[in-house]
Amino acid sequence: MQNKIFELRKSAGLTQDMLAKKCKVSRQTINAIENDRYDPTLQLAFKIAVVLNTTVDNVFKK
Amino acid sequence: MQNKIFELRKSAGLTQDMLAKKCKVSRQTINAIENDRYDPTLQLAFKIAVVLNTTVDNVFKK
DNA sequence: TTAATATGTCAAAAGTTCTTTACATTTCCA
DNA sequence: TGGAAATGTAAAGAACTTTTGACATATTAA
């Protein structure tokens, strides 16, 4: 599912590793999601949205 | 994860089975999610939100 | 009350997410 | 240019979601 993690993450001045740590998942997980290799669980989607200071609907646009 | 599926579904005049069909999943899946036995995939969360005419963030509140 | 509809739940199987470890490539800046 | 930091990717396994089929209970309407 298409997402805006890259741009939102950059805007927040975070590396994949920093975002991963804030979400308490591995760097590879963030990388895979950012590059659309698979979708996160709903829980992780919410965590990412919170850390990036926005909504799930905004991060993952249909 | 807590959610408002029951009330939104009722407001929309839908049974679990009707909502399931609109989302193209089984009735048991909707039942399990509504009763918080497990969280849907992100894809299904979006589908549910669309069918219930609202956002993922509104359906699944943290 | 009876019949039909709606909901709750179980178990097994299939499919997906996420982790860890490991290594390759790219970017960037001193 | 060289070295460090950041990113991309792979494989195996643990954990979770969803399906199907089945049966029980609850609710509603005739």
Per-residue pLDDT in tens (0 to 9) along chain B, 62 residues: 889 999 999 999 999 999 999 999 999 999 999 999 999 999 999 999 999 999 999 999 75
pLDDT value for A38 = 87
pTM of structure: 0.91
pLDDT of residue B61: 77
The β-bridge partners of B41 are: A41
Please list the ranges in chain A whose pLDDT falls under 50: none
Interface residues of chain B, partner chain A, Cβ below 8 Å: 1, 39-43, 45-46, 49-50, 55-57, 60, 62
Q: How many residues appear in chain A?
A: 62
Cα A23 to Cα A5, A16, A32, B37, B59: the distances in Å are 13, 10, 14, 23, 22
Nearest-nucleotide field for A15 (CA, C1'): D6
Spanning CA of A4 to C1' of C27, the rounded length in angstroms is 21
